[in-house]
Chain A
Amino acid sequence: MFLFLTRRLLIAVPTILLISIFVFALQKLLPGDPLLVLAGEERDPQVLELLREKYRLNDPLAVQYFTWVTNALQGDLGISLRTNQPVSELILQKLPVTLQLAAMSMVFALTIGVPAGILSAYKKGSLTDYIANVVALSGLSIPNFWLGIMLILLVSVKWQLLPASGYVPLSEDFGQSLRTMLMPSFVLGTALAATMMRHTRSAMLSVLSADYVRTARAKGLRERRVVLKHAFRNALTPIVTLTALLFGELVAGAVLTEQIFTIPGFGKLVVDAVFNRDYAVVQGIVLVTAVGFIFMNLLADAMYYILNPRLRGQ
């Protein structure tokens, strides 16, 4: 297992390197000079020059890149041009919020999507299958923002069951933290549940017709055991892959939902940074997200290792 993961980790190194070059280049290629934002209304050439010196923008590109990477490796992602806070500090503030949101959404996606997928594959062509597919399609088609607003109107405004917005850190008040996150994670989770259901369904369909499922039936096992043990175990691989991918997407892409529920998460940080040409922050976020994606993939690899005896045997 250690060897297997080490190998995967080594493959990840050039990937991260490539991403870092890309991120760095992107900043240099984008139109608009962030210093113009900083320099204020007058745009005094002397001030601009001073700023260039300060941010070492006059160095050759290679040197700039090297400095940036060395700093990044030490956890220094630069300073936000806008708020003058260290980027790493900003990210560390927002990341737990979004991770919590993503994790809770994933719980919804998995607990709804996977059983629904199994059931609709098992009852393929039946009314259950049909209904599950219609619900899934609606789940995919209903925009998050609409569902979010409707939920706020109903659950918070009308029934006053859950807070409409805000964020309470887990460490502060565990129960309240979960309660505030419940609606936004439901909104995000149901949309993913639909995707999850479709993928689980197709994975289950292909294993349910496998010869070893027939063998399991020939053993006289109960259907529940045939489906949940013999078939589902072999359908897990695509589900793990999808979970890892969706989780990464959740971290990077929950912008809209975070806005609606005014959650001070990663998404809001990204949007603000992009609009303000706060490149240090954008760079930092892209880098952290990319590393996060790679980490999720490593986790998925570890799961494959556990699931697949053939990998274990190597």
Chain B
Amino acid sequence: MSSDHCPPSERPAGTAPADILRLTDFKLRFRGQSVATVNGVSLTVSAGEILCIVGESGCGKSVTAMSVMGLLPKGTSDVLSGDLSFMGKTYDLRRQNLPPHLRGNQIAMIFQEPMTSLNPAFSVGDQIAESVLQHQGGTRAEAMQRARDLLVKVGISAPDQRLKEYPYQLSGGMRQRVMIAIALANDPKLLIADEPTTALDVTIQAQILDLIDELRRDTGMGTMMITHDLGVVAEIADNVAVMYGGEIVEYGPVREIFANPQHPYTIGLMSAMPRLDRPGGRLAIVPGSVPAIENMPSGCRFRTRCAFANERCTERPLPKAAGSGHHATCHFAPLEDHIRVQA
């Protein structure tokens, strides 16, 4: 957790040396739609930091991650604004993607679907070695040796045998480990993990999270983790960005977010989370569902589902500081106590 964390929009110009990734005011609209799906997202990932992006399906978190990787299908969307700084170099996303030689090399990504993310036709060894060969060159034998080391690193036993195996011979957790091995092939500075544990059962989930946690401590890589699971966030995050309707509504250190949530949506999410320390009773829900992108309200995009909304909310709120490194994009932030009690 970087101690000097503050909202990216308020950070002084010039990237701090520990910053690996910095995305500023990213806006993206899909062709054929009139409203931006991602509407001005700014975030920072520092060395060794795990930033969790939380939100419901369709809130734009995966789209943001895919855009950073340059993986969105061509010709389906337009970037309206957004600067991407990576390791001190800035790219204007309207004009260029991240240079391809960084992809799979300095920035790596793992996905939600370990069962289908590996190519069924090639052996595990081939698929890891391919990534090594692509970015480091060298002989196939060297790449295979590296693949073997990587399998050990991600905690796969009998690596020599596993190298020769095919994806169908591996369990889901095992496949996700192989995906992580592929991602680590070139010692990335940043790992983007798009719901890496969603498809796995709980014990395997915990193992994969532990692995990611351990890797960032060992290698100092930054991690941008996308999830809709607050349990995952509590377990692993340093900082949290809560997204709703293509915007970051609250951003801050994980303790702050859990102890002192400022945005009505975050509060809603928290109370919808089952807790072992407060058994019994019904779980609260956030009423309604995310409006289709074409029906996004003007002003605050959450206002149609928000219990506190009033006429002020038809104006677009600005991020407001609510503590150290903590800000919420809500007219009511910082929340007064009577509102929090009500919530």
On A, residues with C-beta under 8 Å from B are 210-212, 214-222, 230, 233-234, 307-310, 313
Contacts and interface: CB of A to CB of B under 8 A. Distances in A.
Given A218-B108, A220-B101, 8 more contacts: A214-B71, A217-B103, A219-B104, A219-B130, A220-B131, A220-B135, A307-B121, A309-B123
Contacts of B9: none
Contacts of B130: 219, 221
A210 B118 CA distance: 10
Given A214-B71, A214-B111, A215-B111, A309 B121 contact: yes
B90 interface: no
A309 B118 CA distance: 13
B32 interface: no
Contacts of B96: none
A212 B120 contact: yes
15 contacts: A210-B116, A211-B111, A212-B118, A214-B117, A215-B117, A215-B118, A215-B119, A217-B103, A218-B103, A219-B103, A220-B102, A220-B104, A221-B134, A233-B121, A313-B169
Nearest to B183: A218
Nearest to A310: B168
A309 to B, nearest CB: 4
Quick one: which of A214, A219, A234 has the most chain B CB within 10 A? A219
A309 B120 contact: yes
B113 interface: yes
A234 B168 CA distance: 14
B179 interface: yes
Quick one: which of B108, B121, B134 has the most chain A CB within 10 A? B121
B89 to A, nearest CB: 17
A218 B105 CA distance: 9
A230 to B, nearest CB: 5
A161 to B, nearest CB: 43
Interface in B164-189: 166, 168-169, 179, 182
A177 B169 CA distance: 50
B179 A309 contact: no
Contact of A218 (B71, B166, B168): B71
Interface of B: 69, 71, 100-105, 108-109, 111, 113, 116-123, 130-131, 134-135, 166, 168-169, 179, 182
Nearest to A222: B100
Given A309-B166, A313-B168, A216 B119 contact: yes
Interface of A is mostly: helix
A11 B159 CA distance: 39
A312 to B, nearest CB: 8
Contacts of B111: 211, 214-215, 218
A310 B121 CA distance: 9
Contacts of B71: 214, 217-218
Contact of B119 (A220, A222, A230): A230
A233 B121 CA distance: 7
Nearest to A219: B104
A277 B18 CA distance: 89
A246 to B, nearest CB: 24
Contacts of A211: 111, 113, 116-117
Contacts of B105: 220
Given A309-B168, A310-B166, A310-B168, A218 B120 contact: no
A307 B119 CA distance: 12
B134 A219 contact: yes
A236 to B, nearest CB: 9
Contacts of A309: 120-121, 123, 166, 168
Contacts of A221: 104, 130, 134
A129 to B, nearest CB: 13
B188 to A, nearest CB: 11
A313 B166 contact: yes
A310 B120 CA distance: 9
A293 B109 CA distance: 47
Contacts of B119: 212, 215-216, 230, 233-234
Given A309-B123, A310-B166, A219 B116 contact: no
A221 B105 CA distance: 10
Contacts of B168: 309-310, 313
Nearest to B185: A219
A3 to B, nearest CB: 19
Nearest to B75: A125
A308 B121 CA distance: 6
A216 B169 CA distance: 20
Contacts of B123: 309
A191 B87 CA distance: 55
B109 A212 contact: no
Contacts of B69: 218
A214 B71 CA distance: 7
B255 to A, nearest CB: 32
A313 B167 CA distance: 12
A216 B103 CA distance: 10
**Nearest 3 CB-CB pairings of A with B:** A220-B104, A219-B104, A220-B103
A309 B124 CA distance: 12
A217 B131 CA distance: 10
A219 B104 CA distance: 4
Contacts of A222: 100
A90 to B, nearest CB: 44
Contacts of B169: 313
A234 B117 contact: no
Contacts of B101: 220
A214 B62 CA distance: 13
Given A210-B116, A220-B105, A215 B179 contact: yes
B182 A215 contact: yes
A102 B300 CA distance: 68
A230 B122 CA distance: 9
Nearest to B118: A212
A196 B123 CA distance: 29
Nearest to B113: A211
